[in-house]
Amino acid sequence: MQRRKLLFLIIVLSLSLVLVLGCNSESQESPQGAEGLDQEKLEEALRLAIKGQASSYAEGETVTEGHIILEIEEKAEEIKVYTIASFGAFGFENGIFTKISGSGAIPTVITFTKEADGEYSLKEYQEPLDGADYGASLKRLFPENLHERIFEAHEDYKFLAEQQEMQATEYLNSIGRTAEIRAGHVEKELAQINVEASNMLFSYHTKYDAFLNACPYW
């Protein structure tokens, strides 16, 4: 009888030990390369870095971004984030608040330095080259384990556009305005104007009034 009780006790203790070790192992798991990072601050730094590309696109009423973090690489005080990113400038076209300029889903490597106060400062923003060098530059920028993923980045655009539309909604709410919000293309309804008059305005007056160059669909 005692032997049975002793055997039962050993089995119970063994199972308890397995459960404890399993729980400890699971609790130590974290996203790849993300240990020790302030995720909230890093997300904000990413948003600012992507929105900071505004000078490369036509100006809108507000700027938005979308991103997906694929992997994080941390070395000393440097953090390299492998992402799929998208920039979007929103403005009104035919009463619709839409993405008037911006990018699609671009595999992007964004590098930060970690400052003494814990903030992340942008060090480098790298996108692949255009044209024939696109594929080769992608492979240089990203580790091999991500190559298959980044060559299918275009499939993520819908998700990135949804992020941008949400930010556009927040902007309109902040100014107390409502409108249809659409990241996709909006068919333009051009003003009916005499062709000769239009040509004269845009060939002569734009030389002296730079503002007209910003209003091609007036």
pLDDT tens by residue, 89-101: 999 988 899 999 9
Looking at residue 202, its pLDDT comes to: 67
Looking at residue 216, its pLDDT comes to: 52
- pTM equals 0.72
Q: Is it the case that residue 142 has pLDDT exceeding 70?
A: yes
Looking at residues 27-31, what average pLDDT do you find?
37
Q: Is it the case that residue 10 has pLDDT exceeding 70?
A: no
3-class DSSP state of 211:
helix
pLDDT, greater one: 30 or 44: 44
Q: What percent of the chain has pLDDT over 90?
A: 59
Q: What percent of the chain has pLDDT over 70?
A: 73
Neighbouring residues of 31: CB distance < 8 A, sequence distance ≥ 6: 72
Neighbouring residues of 194: CB distance < 8 A, sequence distance ≥ 6: none
Residue linked to tokens 């024939």: 132
Looking at residue 6, its pLDDT comes to: 45
What confidence tier does 192 reach under pLDDT thresholds 50, 70, 90?
confident
What confidence tier does 210 reach under pLDDT thresholds 50, 70, 90?
low
User: Is 149 in contact with 139 (CB distance < 8 Å)?
Assistant: no
Task: Write the CA distances from 114 to 31, 52, 87, 105, 119, integer angstroms.
Answer: 19, 19, 24, 27, 6
Poorest-pLDDT segment among 22-31, 138-147, 194-203: 22-31
What confidence tier does 23 reach under pLDDT thresholds 50, 70, 90?
very low
Looking at residue 199, its pLDDT comes to: 74
If we measure between CA atoms, which residue out of 70, 90, 65, 67 comes closest to residue 81? Answer: 70
Q: Is it the case that residue 15 has pLDDT exceeding 50?
A: no
Q: How far apart are CA 111 and CA 79, in angstroms?
A: 6
Looking at residue 76, its pLDDT comes to: 82
Looking at residues 129-140, what average pLDDT do you find?
94
User: Is 64 in contact with 160 (CB distance < 8 Å)?
Assistant: no
What confidence tier does 196 reach under pLDDT thresholds 50, 70, 90?
confident
